[in-house]
Structure 1
Amino acid sequence: MLSSRTIEIIKSTVPVLERHGTSITKRFYQTMFAAHPELLNLFNHANQSQGRQQTALANVVYAAALHIDKLESILPVVKQIAHKHRSLGVTADQYPIVGKYLLGAIKDVLGDAATDDILQAWAEAYGIIANVFIQVEEGMYAQAEKQDGGWAGFRAFRVARKTAESDVVTSFYLVPADGGAVAAFEPGQYISVRLDIPGEANTHIRQYSLSDAPGRPYYRISVKREDALPGKPAGIVSSYLHAQVEEGDVLHLSAPAGEFVLDLADKRPLALISGGVGLTPMVSMLKAAAEAQPDREIAFIHAARRGDAHALRQEAEQVAAGSPRVSTHWCYSRPSASDRETGAFHKEGYVDLSWLKQVVPTTDASFYFCGPTPFMKTVYAALRSWGIAEERIRFEFFGPSGSLREAETTESIRA
């Protein structure tokens, strides 16, 4: 337990962390990777280069300082991060390394303001926080390995089928290379794919949502090819999967992980809202809910640029065709001439609250959503302005977690 003096010192640093948190985490990653380049194998380099990982860590450090006297209040965040750590293969012996360079970064950025008392208090606090992560992750590792069909670390899977779902999304059907069973998962969870790409100095690991329902003899991931944009290079891993990985090839996967899962004990009407490739966990949830809860009202809402960028549409429509309680609703921001001719979409432009009220005719529903961060910020804002209770709103970021709450006044939802 931390002393009252240590807690007092940690809380006194909250305003400093609010101002300088990202500078500290940038310095932390810089110095840690210089001393331990092997840890680069655990991180998404794109998130590093775009600053998303640094911002996410700064938010966690800030939250830990703010709630240092009641760390149980940030346990949901701990569990979410621990799932990612388990899927990446983070080990207990790496936590002292992180602590050393995090404290060094605090000293480097704050200079003389980082007194011996402050550094000692943070060293004690980090030890407590690290131990919480280690204990939670130990339980997750044990559960992943001991469940039926489970395994530790990464397991070889063969690509049984590769299917183009749109002009930018391709699905990979993955079966165990050893011929064994696949571990169960909850709709909404993800797996990590570990790749050694020719010409790349480091191993790359990426998380991809499982896009089919549980209970199949395979895992399916549906991967968007991240093409180059001004100021943003093409995605190394997604480009490699699309262009180089073929049926019969072997990929190495972690066991399924993730806290963003469908609550099948909930009987309220269900709204599944997605933008772009954020529909992948939503399709898994849709199919699982329709199979397990045939009497549940489900509205599946998806925003895409146009029809040829709309993946897995036929699957969702097939589910709706098989159940009078499932409805699908499409919004295209830039529909093609063909989309207009065929009436392929229900709304042109962007999703707005008035349309959400039309397709989800009750506020007594549970809402799940996923997609690009701007999309999620405005979905969240729309739901909160509609009066939807916080406990009935569930969402997940693809990549490091961010904040949605600063956008509560935004009116439109952009895919």
Structure 2
Amino acid sequence: MLTANQIALIKASVPFLEEHGLELTTHFYRRMLEGNPELKSVFNQAHQMKGEQQMSLAVAVLAYAKNIENPAVLAGAVRRIAQKHCTIGIRPEQYAIVGRHLIASLGELLGEAATPELVDAWTAAYQQLADLLIATEQKIYDEQANVEGGWSSWRPMRVANRVEECRDVVSFYLEPADGGPLPAYAPGQYVSVRTFVKELGLVQPRQYTISQASGTGFIRITVKRIAGDTTPEGRMSNHLHKYLKTGDVIDVSAPTGDFTIDVKAEHPVVFIAAGIGITPMVPMIETLATENPLREVHFIYSTQNSETYPLRAEVERAVSGMPNAASAVFFTKPLEKDRIGVDYNAEGRISVDELRNFCQNPDADFYLCGPIPFMKSIAEALRSIGIIAPRIHSEAFGTGDWE
């Protein structure tokens, strides 16, 4: 329990964090990964190279400092962070390592301003947050392990099948190498996969949405290859495309995530996706087609052309089985062979006017997934036509929250 003086000292740190938070977290990660290089296999190095983890942590530390008097308001953010941690196997003993380097980094950046009282305050504040995350993560681990077919941390999975979906997109069908069952999972949830990346000389984790409804006996992930296998974005996707074959075994985390849908609800739902952002939408639509086929559903999708449209057959099969469902496909760069009205419905990007056609019911929920600029523009367009924020749900791939 923090004292009143410690709380005051933490709140007094807010201006420093607003101005130097990213500098602090960048220094921290560099210090920690140099001092404890074994953690390079825990933290995705692509996110490190892009600065995503540094920025995400800076935002989190600032939010924590601003709400130090009532950290309960951050419960949603804490759970999302804990879910990410559980997919890479974070354990309680690692928090001591993180805390040691974070407090030391704070002292090194503040210099003489890092008084013993301030250091003590931040040490206590960090331990409070660590205890909260540890408890939340343990609850998630327990939930994952104590269901039929469940597990926590990593489980070896065999590639039962590999399917080339379209240009630069491959689906991997994963089944437990131990021969056991899989747990039921909610549509929209994700897993991490972990494998040795030769170019880095490290085991690396990467998160992928499960792209198929539960109950098939497989966990399917659908991976887009990012051009350039020397870039941070492309290293893992290229590795999986090049090297992961049918029969291979790879470590997989238990499913988790809150970007899910209330399948039993009756109000309309609109799915809006671009590119590989289609992956969480497919299991949602498949599940609705089976468990609530009369629900009003609209699927709006943007991609370049017919050669960059993964999982199309799955979407069309699910939509065709729902009498109150419809889809609209936008091609930004249609090919000569692509036929409007057959392969796609409109050329160009999704506009406000086109969205308005799907927003007649104010009770509709909207699910967005795709590149961050795409989601920002769609969310802004939805708000401009009167859709309230609680009705807009989104998922950003990578680390942190795009909002």
TM-score, length of structure 1 as denominator length: 0.93
- The 5-angstrom pairing of residues 230-249 of structure 1 reads 232=231, 235-249=234-248
Q: Which amino acid aligns with 1:32?
A: M
Match of 1:335 in 2: 334
Shift of 1:78: 0.5
8 A contact 1:279–1:371 mirrored in 2 = yes
Structure 1 residue aligned with 2:177: 177
1:35-75 CA deviation, whole Å, 9 max, x = no partner? 00000111111111111111011110011011111111101
After superposition, what is the alpha-carbon deviation per residue over 1:151-196, rounded to whole angstroms, capped at 9, x for unaligned? Answer: 2321111111111111011111111112210111111101111102
- CA change 1:379–1:115 in 2 (3 A) is farther
What's the CA shift string for 1:137-158, capped at 9, x where partnerless? 1111111112100123211111
Q: CA deviation at 1:120?
A: 1.6
Distance 2:240 2:193 in 1: 10
2:10 paired residue number: 10
Aligned to 2:98: 98
Q: Give 1:306 deviation, angstroms.
A: 1.8
DSSP-derived class of the 2:105 partner? helix
Identity %: 39
Cα deviation, residue 341, structure 1: 6.3
Q: Which residue of 1 aligns with 2:281?
A: 282
Q: Which amino acid aligns with 1:312?
A: L
1:15-414 equivalences in 2 (<5 Å): 15-228=15-228, 232=231, 235-340=234-339, 343-404=342-403
Distance (whole Å) between structure 1 residues aligned to residue 115 and residue 335 of structure 2: 61
SS at the partner of 2:148? coil
Give the aligned length: 403
Separation in 1 of the partners of 2:13 and 2:217?
51
Q: CA deviation at 1:207?
A: 0.8
Report the alpha carbon displacement of residue 265 of structure 1 after superposing the two structures with TM: 3.9
SS of aligned partner of 1:339: coil
> Contact 1:213–1:285 (CA<8 Å) still a contact in 2?
yes
Code of the aligned partner of 2:305: R
Per the alignment, do residues 323 and 344 of structure 1 end up closer, same or farther by CA in structure 2, a change over 3 Å counting? same
> The residue matched to 2:277 in structure 1 has which SS?
helix
Q: Is the 8 A contact 2:47 2:232 kept in 1?
A: no
Structure 2 distance, partners of 1:370, 1:240, is 24
- Normalising by the residue count of structure 2, what TM-score does the alignment of the two structures yield? 0.96
Change (3 A) 1:310 1:159: same
2:30 maps to amino acid: Q
Alpha-carbon shift at residue 340 of structure 1 (Å): 4.5
CA RMSD in angstroms, aligned pairs only = 1.6
The one-character-per-residue Cα deviations of 1:327-378 (angstroms, maximum 9, x if unpaired) are 1111122222222467422222211221111134323201111111111111
Which letter maps to 2:335? Answer: S
* One-letter amino acid of the counterpart of residue 18, structure 2: E
Q: Is residue 227–residue 233 contact of structure 1 (8 Å, CA) maintained in 2?
A: no
The aligned amino acid for 1:303 is S
The one-letter code of the counterpart of 1:174 is L
Verify the 8 A CA contact 1:299 1:360 in the aligned structure 2.
no
Distance (whole Å) between structure 2 residues aligned to residue 97 and residue 204 of structure 1: 20
Q: Which amino acid aligns with 1:266?
A: A
TM-superposed deviation, 1:112: 3.0
The whole-number CA distance in structure 2 between the counterparts of 1:244 and 1:228 is: 15
Moved more, 210-219 or 234-243: 234-243
CA–CA separation in structure 1 for the residues paired with 2:378 and 2:269 = 15
Change (3 A) 1:341 1:302: closer
Seen in structure 2, the aligned counterparts of structure 1 residues 20 and 265 have a Cα distance that, compared at 3 Å, is farther
TM-superposition CA deviations, 1:80-115 (whole Å, max 9, x none): 010111111000001011111111222222333333
What are the ranges of 5 or more consecutive residues in structure 1 without an aligned counterpart? Answer: 405-415
SS where residue 337 of structure 1 aligns?
A: coil
**What CA distance in whole angstroms lies between the structure 2 residues aligned with 1:380 and 1:114?**
42
Q: How far, CA to CA, are the matches of 2:138 and 2:199 in structure 1?
A: 34
Q: Which moved more, 1:374-383 or 1:133-142?
A: 374-383
Residue 19 of structure 1 and its aligned partner are, at CA, apart by 1.2
**Structure 2: distance between partners of 1:198 and 1:24:** 31
